[in-house]
Amino acid sequence: AQKVTQAQTEISVVEKEDVTLDCVYETRDTTYYLFWYKQPPSGELVFLIRRNSFDEQNEISGRYSWNFQKSTSSFNFTITASQVVDSAVYFCALPYNTGFQKLVFGTGTRLLVSP
């Protein structure tokens, strides 16, 4: 069965620090997709990135970057020069199975960025 583990429950950093959020997943699928979402205090889950298991290249989007390593089943997320607005809960997710829309989420990592 699909499983996503986010071992870091909460991380506190000071503004401008770099921070990495860990995500480890389990799947028997040979091809799969991975997602990251951000949940600010307002509650809405905001889509950040989708990654195909075929593509192991790192991805960078502004201050955000993602490191996907199939060999260790990890899909880690790094925020460079963190800002107060980055404070949120971040979720890593994996679709349940072929043809199913159900997402299996990790337990989330709460990031607190203080000024």
Give residues in contact with other proteins (CB under 8 A).
32-33, 35, 37, 42-47, 50, 52, 91, 95-105, 107-108
Looking at beta carbons only, is 66 or 108 nearer to other proteins?
Answer: 108
**Shortest gap between Cβ of 55 and other proteins (angstroms)?**
12
Looking at beta carbons only, is 71 or 98 nearer to other proteins?
Answer: 98
Q: List, in sequence order, every beta strand (DSSP E) within the chain.
A: 3-5, 10-14, 19-21, 24-26, 33-39, 46-52, 59-61, 64-69, 74-79, 88-95, 103-105, 109-114
**Shortest gap between Cβ of 13 and other proteins (angstroms)?**
23
Looking at beta carbons only, is 44 or 71 nearer to other proteins?
Answer: 44
Which of 83, 103, 89 has its CA nearest to residue 34? 103
**Shortest gap between Cβ of 25 and other proteins (angstroms)?**
14
Tell me the two tokens of residue 66: 């993602």
**Residue 97 identity (one-letter amino acid):** N
**Shortest gap between Cβ of 115 and other proteins (angstroms)?**
26
